Structure 1
């Protein structure tokens, strides 16, 4: 039975052509686990990441194992009931799929969703609500001015006012959390605490009616319009791929400001789309090796260290220009600011 990993639900299209285009991935040998099953029938509750890990030590290399079947209407998605078979072609492992029985060439027995990668609720907030905003955009954003009764803490029952004459219908109210710096680039992490609808405009102010609230709204909280399709370039259908060989990043912290995080939590990295990062890019996490007391061995040079220890993996879920939000998909121990974040290392040997 598969061990169901608590990752976010990302419906993953197994796009073989885009995966093969990454030369650094192709250089990695594809190693099948010794106990990998020759056949497996997908059941409800499985995730793509789980099935990948069932066959591969490096699950992000899954598309190289996957055999697209031209007889299947949509060969990029896997559904409950599909049967996977491990075969060998030209000395290379290939995983093919036999679809569940169809009523017709275009209609399945049941309308089912393709299996997810991980649990959606862990990722969606960072795609739709919580975000990073540059200092410049933050200064230009509307602020919560308060309510007619003059109270500093506002509830859902009160009509609130934000600065400026605004025409957008739907709004998010955000709390400023942590600030992150990368050279001259500075961003502020924002956490959405409420949503609201535009009611009226009144002398350089706009009134809003709160529609949903998770905590009290404060004067000077940030108000940002919710624009339909504003993150259209982001998707929940990307697939995990290794980041470019030799690439690395630093962990700057978390939106909540915690110093240590673990599996299924999100961190801020000092790399982004300007560094060619995209959704789904994978990194490995390493704990730096401690210094060695070289007085115990004259053969060791001063400053020698023990080898770094692999402690987990993370996936880019939302890249910004100079920063990214990344989900820790595996963690054997707490991840801290000094944890090394590097591209997946080539796997030695192949079957």
Structure 2
């Protein structure tokens, strides 16, 4: 049976039931889209059976959105998150649409513009199945993918999980360094023809340990990220300048024996680079594991800062939080945002009494980049402006 390309991955299994019902039979309907893929690991008959069993379970009707339609034709520009919001009350749980065994089966199929998703209700359960192409839509082309790190946007116009255009540029820009990493980062020591600043296409000369990398981001003023509760230094957020590529290695001058710096060419600039600017390797841009899922354990953290110069953030903006790899945060974690309850006074008794109003849920955060002690997330919904110090928790 042909299978679809590996796009989405989930690091932890979930129990059956409403969490992952509303299924689009992962293996039962693979042939419908006509997409062939090679998985990183073979899928056993037992795993197929598990996936099909989950896919057939569906979700309770109570999990459906009040105005869930009978069908939906996938449009160009749709995201899986947006499609799930059409059918489910809780759109971040869109993996339910696939009915996956999320721990063992890591190659759920993609969906494409023009395909029709049909909501099937059976008793007190509901599930989603893949129908045919909408009128006027060409059938999906068959494509064969080899296992590799995905460094480009989804191929053949497949529907992404979240709006990748919102986070794509950020995957190259955001760099968080420790104090030691900052001190050891390679730095520009001279410029082409002694220019004060260098622009795209011009040369810069760099000293420091390149670690074998060839593509780098450049940054200037690093912003300290401090824990809002303890004031502990969590890392340094690099101020993005642009990108540069390695041209020639460093060494020693044959006559004088003096050190010769490595040569770099500026490949893009948001602002001109100069002597003293630092370099960090460009991280891989891997879109293959952006599957929303809740943390496996409770989370209690805070928003550290709003990325950029703004004091508050809203939907589709990016914030840093004071939890990272060491705290069990993963790419794809969905976290609730909470506005702190304000101080008030109860004046209904014999004498006024200070009270604290409860925290109010203010939004939802989708984590897409994780460092050791800091993570970045996209605000996918916000009822109120999000500020540094706002609380985060499991959703």
Q: TM-score, normalised by structure 1?
A: 0.77
Q: CA deviation at 1:89?
A: 4.8
Q: Residue 127 of structure 1 aligns to a residue in which SS?
A: helix
- The count of residues paired between Structure 1 and Structure 2 equals 318
Q: CA deviation at 1:282?
A: 0.6
Structure 1 186/95 Cα, relative in aligned 2: closer, same or farther at 3 Å? same
Q: Residue 54 of structure 1 aligns to a residue in which SS?
A: helix
The structure 1 residue matched to 2:222, chosen from 151, 167, 177, is 177
Structure 2 runs not aligned, ≥5 long: 1-5, 21-58, 101-106, 144-155, 252-258
Aligned residues of 1:135 and 1:186 also touching (Cα < 8 A): no
Aligned residues of 2:172 and 2:217 also touching (Cα < 8 A): no
Aligned residues of 2:73 and 2:115 also touching (Cα < 8 A): yes
The structure 1 residue matched to 2:172, chosen from 116, 124, 128, is 128
Q: TM-score, normalised by structure 2?
A: 0.70
Structure 1 308/301 Cα, relative in aligned 2: closer, same or farther at 3 Å? farther
Q: CA deviation at 1:261?
A: 1.4
RMSD over aligned Cα atoms: 3.4
Structure 1 23/83 Cα, relative in aligned 2: closer, same or farther at 3 Å? closer
Structure 1 90/136 Cα, relative in aligned 2: closer, same or farther at 3 Å? farther
1:316 corresponding residue in structure 2: 367
Q: CA deviation at 1:306?
A: 3.1
Aligned residues of 2:364 and 2:379 also touching (Cα < 8 A): yes
Q: CA deviation at 1:145?
A: 1.4
1:329 aligns with 2:380: yes
Q: Residue 250 of structure 1 aligns to a residue in which SS?
A: strand
2:8 corresponding residue in structure 1: 13
In structure 2, distance between residues paired with 1:37 and 1:61: 18
In structure 1, distance between residues paired with 2:348 and 2:209: 72
**Greater relative contact order structure (CA < 8 Å, 6+ sep):** 1
2:118 corresponding residue in structure 1: 85
The structure 1 residue matched to 2:237, chosen from 189, 193, 199, is 189
How do 1:1-351 and structure 2 match up within 5 A? Answer: 13=8, 18=12, 20=14, 31-67=63-99, 76-89=109-122, 91-100=124-133, 108=140, 112-147=156-191, 149-156=193-200, 158-164=202-208, 168-182=213-227, 186-200=234-248, 201=250, 203-226=259-282, 231=284, 234-244=286-296, 246-294=298-346, 296-298=347-349, 302-344=353-395
Q: CA deviation at 1:315?
A: 0.6
